[in-house]
Homo-oligomer: A and B are copies of this chain.
């Protein structure tokens, strides 16, 4: 059902249309004087994980739970005194989102997390990063029993499963619920007194624990959001672990059957912020290492190494340092880019890309240029960038891509086009080079990528250390809703 509560304006620009989209960032704090401010700051630092909407829930003893959910950026909503004043209390969680798996049309405010449910023993709110691969089946089952869904979000299943659990406490009900759920999930939840964090058994999505001074705790998708509030990084929530923080004590549970972890390798490539650390490694340094690995695998004689801003920057620096070819800002990004502009008629119809990016023409003219980008999804942006560079008089254009060809959709919380829209699903590397019209095109190998993220021996094909389904087509959790809808696994092709 489409539902209009409040005006909603697009906040993302059309260029980013050619990127994979992390769907969510989650954050929670307890033991501070004013949780809402901390959560707002944390979500602001996680804004790259979702720009469409955000929400915060807090609890304080007098008036109970408080919630605010808004379309738009954290900075535009959760910096307002009136909004923050309506979110009192020492305990709170929050969520930023890009879009919900399963939603047919536009996102509605009721799809915006955290979700809240009142149970017999009290209320609970949850924020979910990931995707539940059996959500359709669960939803049918729950509706059949009389549950009323308010959103089109897969995540709402969790709160209904919790409402129907026969367990007495919220953490026990959450265990009940999450054992029914398949797929990838990192969850931050809260009751009146507890802050709870969980990661699925494979640990596909990140979740870390931080300490705020002597008394406060934080849970966050990434470490960069601990930095912004001055919290100290403690450790990651481990795959398959549930942590319950109450009265300043952290208790750890293992509610699921043990499995070997499969962290999302694309978090290293693109999703996480370069100033975060994953598994103790600086994301920036990993990306720089990917660039260096790429320079070894795919060298080319050229005058300049230029990043496609901003995501290709660390890999371009690594490529330049490994190859000795000078690094330069050949493409400049307009920092004020926002909503779509109304394009000025036929005269300049296809100029779109220059709204966001402009070539440093005087620098590029006559040069052989290596362009480093993080990934190629549909290829539409890559083509436009190539044209801009050639228009500016470049002698040669060489694309170097800091990830293997993206040939398979993600079903674990990332917004990917349908398989047939992925350039690498329908073309070989050579066909792609021709399609893009560049002098050369090289992707890093899957082994090369594994080496760059710290697996010295590359990928172990029998037991890969990461989820790399978008590159390999090997899905660590069967996407059962998708299969029901007709998706063919690699083996079945």
Residue numbers of A with Cβ under 8 A of B are 1-6, 32-34, 37-38, 40-41, 44-45, 47-48, 51, 57, 63-70, 73-76, 79-81, 83-84, 86, 104-105, 109-110, 116-120, 123, 143-150, 159-160, 163-165, 212-213, 224, 227-230, 273-275, 277, 280-282, 284-285, 288, 310, 313-314, 317, 321, 326-329, 332, 334-345, 347-348, 351, 354-355, 358-363
- Neighbour of A332 across the interface among B165, B274, B342, CB < 8 A: B274
- In the complex, A67 Cα to B120 Cα: how many Å? 30
Distance, CA A444 to CA B268, complexed state (A): 38
Q: Please give me the residue from chain B that is nearest to A38 by CB atom.
A: B344
The answer to whether B66 and A2 have CB atoms under 8 Å apart is yes
CA distance A230 to B343 in the complex (A): 12
* A148 contacts B120, C-beta separation under 8 Å: no
A224, B358: Cβ atoms closer than 8 Å: yes
Instruction: Point out which of A1, A327, A345 has the most chain B C-beta atoms below 10 A from its C-beta.
Output: A1
Given contacts A67-B1, A109-B5, A341-B41, contact A347 B146 (CB under 8 A): no
Q: Which residue of the partner chain B has the closest CB to A159?
A: B148
Do the beta carbons of A47 and B362 come within 8 Å of each other?
no
Q: Is the CB of A63 within 8 A of B105?
A: yes
Separation of A68 and B67 alpha carbons in the complex (Å):
20
Q: Give the CA-CA distance A119 to B38 in the complex, in Å.
A: 39
A228 and B159 contacting across the interface, CB-CB below 8 Å: no
Q: Across the interface, do A34 and B146 meet the contact criterion of CB distance under 8 Å? A: no
A-B contact pairs, 11 of them (CB 8 A): A3-B66, A34-B344, A45-B334, A119-B143, A143-B163, A145-B146, A146-B164, A224-B332, A282-B363, A284-B332, A317-B328
Q: Which residues of chain B are within 8 angstroms of A149 by Cβ–Cβ distance? A: 118
The CA-CA distance from A358 to B66 in the complex, in Å, is 30
B4, B33, B70, B345: which contacts A83 (Cβ < 8 A)?
A: B4
CB distance from A182 to the nearest CB of B (A): 21
Contact of A160 with B144 at beta-carbon distance under 8 Å, contacts A47-B334, A310-B335 already known? no
> Smallest CB-CB separation from A160: which chain B residue?
B148
Docked Cα-Cα span, A23 to B41, in Å, equals 31
The residue on B at minimum CB distance from A119 is B143
CB distance from A46 to the nearest CB of B (A): 10
Contact A79-B342, Cβ < 8 Å, known A67-B4, A147-B163, A284-B329: yes
- B332 near A275 with CB under 8 A, answer yes
Q: Which residues of B contact A282 (CB under 8 A)?
A: 360-363
State A227–B40 Cα separation when bound (angstroms): 38
